[in-house]
Amino acid sequence: MRETSIQHIHIDSLAELHKFLGLPEPRHPLFTILRFKDFPKLALESKVKLSADFYQITFKKDYEGNKMIYGQSEYDFNEGVLSFFAPKQVFIKEGELTPPSGFVIMIHPDYLHGYPLDDKIKSYGFFEYAVNESLILSEEEELLIENIFTQIKEESIRPIDTHSQDVIISNLELLLSYSNRFYTRQFITRKPQYNTLLSKFERYLDELLQDKSLLENGLPGVATIAEKFNLTPKYFSDLIKQHSGRSTQQHIHEKLIERAKEKLSGTSFSVSEIAYQLGFEHSQSFNKLFKSKTNLSPLEFRSLFN
């Protein structure tokens, strides 16, 4: 039996979103903030793919028993959490559409034009994280974040004047700065769990460089490696960097150089053969990487052992 395809709903504008939710038109065409308690009761009978042309920041509370699915992962929203969605990011939702309490902010990219946040928002990696990589807030953090959302909400319902957008964007910058700080805290407080993952990552690289599949498949990219650990590439990279001080790519390169040194010093394989065994399609790429890491060409390194 063929699997039924999942319906994909894409929202082009905030006005369309408000209409979809059964809410009055937004006060501003490019920015809106809503309280979940004001939403009508909405439930999806089957899985639906959702995406939109704007940034979304959701602060969810008291969402027990409901799941959101991203890729192969499920996430139970039974704590105060922050989730971030970039424009056109797709996720799958089923069951109740909204939690009992909390906020959601929607920002069209055009709302940020002319402000430093227009560029800075792209540097926040958590907009590329999956739902199961949401920010779990402590009680103190939750109160602080809720206060910022409340301030933004109060400003959004004031009569619009020449300062309205400046005030809202200033609060958005504060919200994102705190979110960045709290994600760093989350990486630190979950250190035992993440140290285990780091060890598994190192072991995976060791096993990978012993595997003959490199000859056929070449070197895996960060996305392929992250998928093996059920994480998005950005979250995986940020986590590895936070706990080791090195990027995922640096870890891969260091393991490659270690293995290359073993082969250059202990075997008679040619440089081209070693490059091929390590997953390089072209030996020139291997030579360039090796020299950048050791200040020696592969042949110069080999000559040290002759």
Mean pLDDT of the chain: 83
Beta strands at 67-70 and 101-107: parallel, antiparallel or unpaired: unpaired
In a shared domain, residues 144 and 249:
no
Of the ranges 35-44, 147-156, 180-189, 254-263, which one carries the lowest mean pLDDT score?
Answer: 35-44
Query: Of 154, 189, 224, which marks where a domain is finished?
Result: 189
In a shared domain, residues 26 and 124:
yes
In a shared domain, residues 299 and 227:
yes
The kind and range of the H/E element at 45 are: strand 43-52
In a shared domain, residues 297 and 214:
yes
Is residue 97 situated within a structural domain?
A: yes
Total structural domains in the chain? 2
Average the pLDDT over 118-143 and give the result.
88
Query: Of 137, 159, 189, which marks where a domain is finished?
Result: 189
Is residue 289 situated within a structural domain?
A: yes
Of the ranges 26-30, 275-279, 292-296, which one carries the lowest mean pLDDT score?
Answer: 275-279
Query: What distance lies between CA 33 and its chain's CA centroid?
Result: 23
In a shared domain, residues 17 and 158:
yes
Is residue 37 situated within a structural domain?
A: yes
Is residue 269 situated within a structural domain?
A: yes
Give 2's strand partners.
Answer: none
Share of the chain above pLDDT 90, in %: 34
Burial class (CB within 10 angstroms; exposed 0-12, middle 13-18, buried 19+) of 205:
buried
Residue with tokens 């700065």: 177
Amino acid identity of residue 209, one-letter, is L
In a shared domain, residues 91 and 144:
yes
The CATH number given to whatever domain includes residue 255 is 1.10.10.60
Q: CA 62, CA 146: separation in Å to the nearest integer?
A: 14
Average the pLDDT over 164-188 and give the result.
93
In this prediction the pTM is: 0.70
Query: Of 189, 214, 238, which marks where a domain is finished?
Result: 189
In a shared domain, residues 39 and 99:
yes
Average the pLDDT over 214-222 and give the result.
74
Is residue 198 situated within a structural domain?
A: yes
Contact criterion met (CB below 8 Å) for 54 and 104: no
Is residue 2 situated within a structural domain?
A: no
In a shared domain, residues 66 and 134:
yes
The CATH number given to whatever domain includes residue 179 is 2.60.120
Is residue 46 situated within a structural domain?
A: yes
Looking at residue 112, its pLDDT comes to 96
In a shared domain, residues 22 and 157:
yes
In a shared domain, residues 171 and 255:
no
- Which residue, among 84, 99, 83, 123, has the nearest Cα to 42 in the 3D structure? 99
Looking at residue 44, its pLDDT comes to 65
Reported confidence tier of residue 193, pLDDT bands at 50, 70, 90: low
- Which residue, among 167, 134, 169, 141, has the nearest Cα to 58 in the 3D structure? 134
Average the pLDDT over 267-290 and give the result.
88
In a shared domain, residues 268 and 235:
yes
Question: Is residue 179 predicted with pLDDT exceeding 60?
Answer: yes
DSSP one-letter code for 161? -
Average the pLDDT over 30-59 and give the result.
85
Is residue 1 situated within a structural domain?
A: no
- Which residues constitute the domain of residue 51? 7-189
CB atoms within 10 A of CB 166: 12
In a shared domain, residues 37 and 87:
yes
